[in-house]
Structure 1
Amino acid sequence: MKKMLKLFGVSVACAAMLMLFACGEAPQEKKAEEPAKTEEAAAPAKEEPKTIKAGFVYVSPVGDAGYSYAHDLGRKAVDELDWAETSFVESVPEGADSERVIRNMARKGFDIIFTTSFGYMDPTIKVAKEFPDAKFMHCSGFKKSENVSNYFGRIYQARYLTGLVAGAMTKSNKLGYVAAFPIPEVIRGINAYTLGVRKANPEAEVRVVWTKTWYDPALEKDAAKSLLDAGCDVIAQHQDSPAAQEAAQEAGAYSVGYNSDMSSFAPKAHLTSAVWNWAPMYIKMMEEVRDGSWKGDESMWWSLQDGVVDIAPFGPMVPEDVKTSVEAERAKLAAGEDTIFAGPIKNQAGEVVVPEGSASNDGELLGMNWFVEGVVGTVK
């Protein structure tokens, strides 16, 4: 019995040892060390280019084929840029209404606001003070500030060229000019036109009628008719509609348009037009806003050489020799040779105001308030 108990005890002990080995961790093979994983730096989120928002304020309808129409063609060119966004308000009277419209654009966060009429100058300056972070460009004015610059083009160059055509085409030696307001911009254009007229025809005179409005087709047409009744056989204009062109055609006279090619309104009368191409200037300004190089308190006055002003194609009635002589003068301007206001130049009283050997500088041109010899009318 004792022997059996002893054998049983040995068996139990062996079983216990087997269980102990079975419960222990089995030895593991050593694995090759893997390289430590490194977290890849997240690529910075690509920043979307900022959309530059531009607002345009117009004094007349964009469909007038005139001044606002030309500006709006420039705006449309800007709108084609994939980083630009534009908006406009048309037919905004100068004065309190324009101030309200300009302020509303500034409140909406436009990056740059273009105010395109001379009478918007003071409202632009006033609103700019209230919104120092916005940028403003005023067309044809002279006041500036830290966030207001002004711009215009040397349209007088195109006026001079159209005057060469008109002076060659008149038979009565009386040419009419329907003009809006007696401000330097308009006076300068009349003078340049008259200098061109008298270079082609020293006996001719240019008669001016003031309408005191930028856009009033009925009034513009009546003013043209009064000049036609006075014996003028070529009608030019500084107005926003083609009404003066239509009056000339109805009377069997010739006409010279402004702002855009107005030949479609008076194909039998239209000799040519002094035209604007605002696109290069507007795109340049927008690019400066985008890259941070835009500056306030500056003035831009671009020329035919810069592609901002030019003349429309000649009408079929213009002789080849006239076209050739005008194109020769145009080529000089395109090359940067501008001697339009080089002396000697006399005023209406026959007094020499620009002596021979000198020329009017930009300050004198921008402040011009007198008529050259050959203009019939008063500066008021």
Structure 2
Amino acid sequence: MNNSEKQKLKISVLIPGNISDKGFMQAGYNGYMKIAEMLPIEVKYISGVTETADDNALANALRELASENPDMIIAHGGQCDVPVESVSIEFPNIKFTVIQGHVKSSNVSSYLVRQQDSTWLAGALAGLMTKSNKIGHIAGVRPKSLLLERAAFYDGLKAVNPDAELLSCFTGNLDDPEINKSAAESIIEHGADIIYSVLNSGRSGVVDAVKSSEKKVYNIGNVYDWTLEDDSFIASAVADSSVALFKAASDLNFNKWKANDTVEIGLDHPEVVRLSMGVNVPEGVKEKITDFTKLFVEGGIDVPKEYGGKEFDLSTGELK
């Protein structure tokens, strides 16, 4: 008997942020829609839970979904690692999957696209393109996935330009444009000519700051191909997390989902993970990035798990 001949599986999806952010949360919604359209699964979602990594808010949302006893809950985002760890213990008969997560147990697995691989390439491109030798990095929160991304970006930057300096900060909010615009303005004021932002709706504030600067400053985006959206983006570290979300649901449907597992998708699937480069990137730089990509796929580049640099203090402008 196949799944179409018996009661449908039920999957609930937690998308913590804004599903129209043209970034990570929208990718989660795209994955949800793909499940609804392509799999014989009863699926629902909730979104807009928190603009930060508020563990209590995320845990309560997970409990709300678990109270309906679905077969699986998919939590979209590494900020769900800690909440899923605790809530999954309370509901041992429900399977949990964290997208971009780093947790696993007897009823939990993590599925992720290797954003850190395209982020390493983004760091290398920034190192090759900068004229001021100062690069900005703005993220909202600090789940393990985003810390790994920063470590990868810094390593790629230093691999091609040891003299480059990274002005890295976390604003505490993924979705507020004004908070993140202020951070970008401070980083630009201190000399950065490229800013890599790892944000959701708050990215629009960074874009505004870059465009309003009298200096020549460029953006690098992530998740979505921002070079198609705005010419202030010289590149985007594409990592389509909708694919990981759909794969988790598909694996459940076809009895391939395994507990206590981590499933990764990397640069060997360029339709999912790649560095997209805009028209302002010289051909010579594009060729170098293509060479690095091949080296990655062949296993010739190891992405570090720890960040080796300092942090930019937004209140003082100092690196600490």
Q: Which TM-score band applies after superposition, normalised by the shorter structure?
A: 0.7 to 0.9
- In structure 1, what is the Cα distance between the partners aligned to 2:17 and 2:32? 15
The reply on whether 1:285 has 2:285 as its aligned counterpart is no
Shift of 1:228: 0.6
Paired AA for residue 276 in structure 1 = A
Tell me the equivalent position of 2:33.
76
Please identify the structure whose Cα radius of gyration is greater: 1
Change in 2 beyond 3 A, CA 1:174/1:54 = same
The amino acid that maps onto 2:224 is S
- 1:303-355 CA distances to partner (integer Å, 9 max, x unpaired)? 2224585235321111111111111211232x3424144xxxxxxxxxxxxxx
Counterpart for residue 261 of structure 1:
225
Change in CA separation of 1:185 and 1:290 when aligned onto 2, cut-off 3 Å:
closer
For residues 178 and 184 of structure 2, what CA distance do their matches in structure 1 show?
Answer: 10
Match of 2:113 among 136, 140, 153: 153
Residue 245 of structure 1 aligns to which amino acid in structure 2?
A: V
Contact 2:114 2:273 in 1 (8 A): no
Change over 3 Å in CA distance of 1:279–1:338 after alignment to 2: farther
Secondary structure (helix, strand or coil) at the match of 1:80 reads helix
Provide the rounded CA distance (Å) in 1 between the counterparts of 2:45 and 2:308: 35
- Pick from 130, 144, 151: which aligns with 1:191? 151
CA distance in 2, matches of 1:121, 1:203: 35
Change (3 A) 1:196 1:309: farther
* Aligned partner letter, 1:285: A
After superposition, the Cα gap between the structure-2 partners of 1:184 and 1:289, relative to the gap in structure 1 and judged at 3 Å, is closer
Tell me how far 1:214 sits from its aligned partner. 2.6
Structure-2 change in CA distance of 1:181 and 1:310 (3 Å):
same
Give the letter aligned to residue 218 of structure 2: Y
Q: Structure 1 residues 201 and 145, CA, compared in 2 at 3 Å: closer, same or farther?
A: closer
- 2:316 is aligned to none
> Quick check: 1:195–1:340 contact (8 Å CA) kept in 2?
no
Overall identity of the aligned pairs, in %: 25
Matched, 1:217 2:152: no
1:29-44 matches, cutoff 5 A: none
2:26 is the alignment partner of 1:62: no
Residue 115 of structure 1 pairs with residue 75 of structure 2: yes
Change (3 A) 1:131 1:325: same
Q: CA deviation at 1:65?
A: 1.2
Give the AA of the match of 2:105.
Answer: S
The alpha-carbon deviation at position 61 of structure 1 amounts to 0.2
TM-aligned CA distance change 1:271 to 1:183, over 3 Å: same
Residue 68 of structure 1: how far off its partner (Å): 0.6
Amino acid at match of 2:301: T
CA deviation vs aligned residue, 1:76-103 (integer Å, no higher than 9, x gap): 2222214123222111123332222212
Aligned CA distance change for structure 1 residues 293 and 376 (closer, same or farther; 3 Å): closer
Question: Does the CA-based 8 Å contact 2:11-2:71 persist in structure 1?
Answer: yes
Matched, 1:174 2:111: no
In the superposition, the TM-score normalised over structure 1's length comes to 0.73
How many angstroms apart in 2 are the aligned matches of 1:196 and 1:184? 18
- Alpha-carbon distance change, 265 to 280 in structure 1, aligned in 2, over 3 angstroms: closer
TM-score (normalised: structure 2): 0.85
Residue 250, structure 1, aligned to residue 207, structure 2: no
Q: Aligned ranges for residues 284-323 of structure 1 at < 5 Å?
A: 284-307=247-270, 309-311=272-274, 313-323=276-286
User: How far is 1:279 from its partner?
Assistant: 3.9
CA distance in 2, matches of 1:57, 1:119: 11
Residues 155-212 of structure 1: CA deviation (Å, up to 9, x unaligned): 1110111122211221111111112234543232222212222333332111112202
- Cα distance change, pair 79–338 in 1 and its aligned pair in 2 (3 A): farther
Counterpart contact for 1:178–1:235, Cα < 8 Å: yes
Aligned CA distance change for structure 1 residues 308 and 58 (closer, same or farther; 3 Å) = farther
Are 2:193 and 1:229 equivalent residues in the alignment?
Answer: no
- The CA distance in 1 between the partners of 2:176 and 2:25, in whole Å, is 13
Q: Deviations over 1:89-124 (max 9, x none)?
A: 111123332222212222223221111233333332
Measure, in 2, the Cα distance between the counterparts of 1:92 and 1:117.
Answer: 12
Letter in 1 for 2:140: A
1:127 to 87, 96, 102: 87
Structure 2 CA distance for partners of 1:121 and 1:314, relative to 1, 3 Å = closer
Change in CA separation of 1:79 and 1:199 when aligned onto 2, cut-off 3 Å: same
2:268 maps to a residue whose letter is Q
- Structure 2 Cα separation of the partners of residues 313 and 288 of structure 1: 29
Moved more, 160-169 or 183-192: 183-192
For structure 1, the residue ranges without an aligned partner over 5 or more in a row are 1-43, 342-359
Partner of 1:88: 45
Give deviations 1:103-162, integer Å, cap 9, x for gaps.
222222322111123333333233323332221112344443221112323211101111
Q: 1:325 to 1:50 in 2, by over 3 A?
A: farther
Residue 63 of structure 1 and its aligned partner are, at CA, apart by 0.5
Q: For the Cα contact (< 8 Å) 1:178–1:208, is it kept in 2?
A: yes
Distance (Å, rounded) in 2 between the aligned partners of 1:78 and 1:99: 23
